[in-house]
Amino acid sequence: MKIHDALLGLIIFVGGLIICYVAKDFPDQNDGKPGPWLFPVVLSLLFSLSGLILFFKKFKTLKDRPLIDVQDRVGAAGMLKILVLLSLIIFYILTSEFLGFLIAMGLTMLIMMLVLRTKLYMALLVSACATLGIYLIFAKVLLVPLPEGLFYF
Amino acid sequence: MFDFSVMMQGLQSILDPTVLMIIVGSGLYGLFIGAMPGLTATMAVALLVPITFYMDAVPAIASIITMSAMAIFAGDLPGTLLHIPGTPSSAAYCNDSFALAKKGKASVVLGVDLVLSALGGLFGSIILLCMAPVLAEVALQFSSYEFFWLAVLGLSCAVMISSGSPLKGFVSLLIGLLVNCVGLDITLGFPRFTFDRPELFEGFSFIPAMIGMFGIAELMKNVSEPINRNATMIEYSTDIFKGIGGVIKKYWNQIIRSQLIGTCIGILPGAGGDIAAWICYGVAKRFSKTPDEYGQGTVEGIANATTANNAAISGAFIPALVFGIPGDSLTAIIIGVLFMKGLEPGPTLFTNHGDFLFAIYMVFILANILLIPLGYIIIRLATKVMRVPTNLLNPIILGFCIVGAYAINNANFDIMAMFGFGILAFIMLKHGFPVAPAILGLVLGDMLENTFMQSMIKSEWDLTSFFSRPIAAILGLITVLLWFSPLIVKAVKKGRKVQA
């Protein structure tokens, strides 16, 4: 999926205005001179201005390309793989405290490998070894307290 | 330059067996990542940074330097043997390398790549060793006005030089600067855009942002557009050093030119090894007696470009160490690591941490010398390394990304931040917005705001004070000229047309 630059310009323009609206309420310094609001307001105004320029620069090409091009290089299969990848990160965040690092990470890698068409036995073997390898590096060598979860590992 | 005791301390810190093991290990890691099509040196550094978090400053920076030097060279391997550049830095001469490999000259190309990459890196290291302390002496006289202009100049270069349109580069820069506004403000400690979440009071951690923007975004690209690595691999002899002396003798003056240009391009903020390779390739073609051979298979073009991309790595360290201004994405990450280690890049680094700096210079030289034996090993193993299936490798990288982001604060919040930055970078790349300016904005945002506010408070909000000191005025003038350079070039061209 690809968004037309003109539409992106509008999104950037509106985004900048929203940031500016939030930042304008930040206070001045104690002596009344510009304070915490100054940088975000200036940057967001420049952001909006850039969006507007992008919109007007690309406005003429609106006829040539659709506003949102759904048929770009990635395709449906590629998009699905991206969604699985992102969902697996969320799956890990939600389950690691409960399941523990080894199970949550093992499952994350296993599912990703299967989605990328790895044979089941190979995916099981490699995901188990890789999870254990990462665990040893981070938990045992670098002493990072990885989530233990229900089963204490 | 350095007194003897400082030099000995610096040498001792890199001759420690653990540090040497880390250097060799990170070198092999860099060679592996560089040789894998689709995995870039910046991604490799982003994945390495969480591990460096647990090291001392010298081994941490040494591992990144060695890894990046090796990865940039190793990117030439798949370019030569599979016609797929391993890193963007090898793209400029990929056609020539593959064309020569098809003619049975793969070993010549690989030999030229290896030896001239090492020579390029060594030359850049010597320039770094000579120039950085001299510039640091000058930088010691700088105040907040000069540092403000340096930050603006660095960010402006990043926008002008970045790939794609300067407007999109500018938007990318603003994204980085706006993200940097999140957290407590420096003047009053007022929380900005924190949404009452205490995790955001110190702003976004740098490492999860890096891992998201380089690791997750690249993974998203890799899983959605699988690389065809089943292409026929060219067979080659491992007798790569045969004839290399003749190549150096024939092109010695061009090699020196490319070393110089490569180092200078590395110094420019925003321009890294890939731009250095393209420019030196272009310059070599422009002055070549056989420009028609370029793109069809020319050792001359390869020799120039492969020298330049490794020289640029060392060049990028000059502004990073002396002024705290990153030359490219790699040095942006290194600046973040230096801050993590309590070492503030800038002229005071040269006065207070001479032993550390000497160790860094020695690491550059050691890494480029090590490139020859380690590079030779990877050339012998290239056929096996490049066949590692990505359907196994990508999920393992995902695992490292998740744990790497978590390891910084032991919090799932950082994994969420990595997730968000990954999506943002993927969308940006897909729509032609370069990511490098956003990274530089993220790194330099604090310096920009701090120096501006300090200068304003000192001068009681007199904007002309930014031009009150001679060096500040010169830097300001250069910056303004840079902003208007496209208009000036246009006007000059128009004037010439009218005259003609």
The rounded mean pLDDT for chain B is 87
B394 CB within 8 Å of a chain A CB:
yes
- How close, in Å, is residue B224 to chain A by CA atoms? 4
Smallest Cβ–Cβ distance between B431 and the set A8, A39, A74 belongs to: A8
Q: Pick from A81, A88, A90 the residue to mutate for testing the B interface (most B CBs within 10 Å).
A: A81
pLDDT in tens, A34-56: 999 999 999 999 999 999 999 99
| Integer Cα distance of A82 and A77 in angstroms | 9
Backbone angles phi, psi at A68, to 5 degrees: -130, 115
pLDDT band at B2 (very low <50, low <70, confident <90, very high): low
B235 CB within 8 Å of a chain A CB:
no
Beta-carbon contacts of residue B357 (< 8 Å; ≥ 6 apart): B10, B132, B133, B321, B349, B350
CB contact under 8 A, B223 and A35: no
**Which of A40, A130, A53, A65 is closest to B403 using CA atoms?**
A130
Give me the pLDDT at residue B233, please: 66
Contacts of A127 in chain B (CB under 8 A): 395
Contacts of B187 in chain A (CB under 8 A): 29, 35-36
Alpha helix stretches (DSSP H) within A100-148: 101-115, 120-135
pTM beyond 0.90: the answer is no
Residue B100 burial class via C-beta count within 10 angstroms: exposed 0-12, middle 13-18, buried 19 and up: buried
pLDDT in tens, B29-62: 999 888 887 677 888 888 888 888 888 889 999 9
Give me the pLDDT at residue B169, please: 92
CB contact under 8 A, B410 and A144: yes
pLDDT band at A24 (very low <50, low <70, confident <90, very high): very high
Give me the pLDDT at residue A71, please: 67
CB contact under 8 A, B390 and A116: yes
Q: Do B340 and B36 meet the contact criterion of CB atoms below 8 Å apart?
A: no
B242 residue type, one letter: K
B174 CB within 8 Å of a chain A CB:
yes
B230 CB within 8 Å of a chain A CB:
no
Contacts of A81 in chain B (CB under 8 A): 223-224
Contacts of A90 in chain B (CB under 8 A): 419
- What string of DSSP letters covers B304-330? HHHHHHHHHHHHHHHHHHHHS--SSHH
Within the 22-51 window of chain B, which residues sit less than 8 Å (CB to CB) from chain A? Answer: 51
**Which of B169, B75, B6 is closest to B385 using CA atoms?**
B75
pLDDT in tens, B137-165: 888 888 999 999 989 988 888 887 766 78
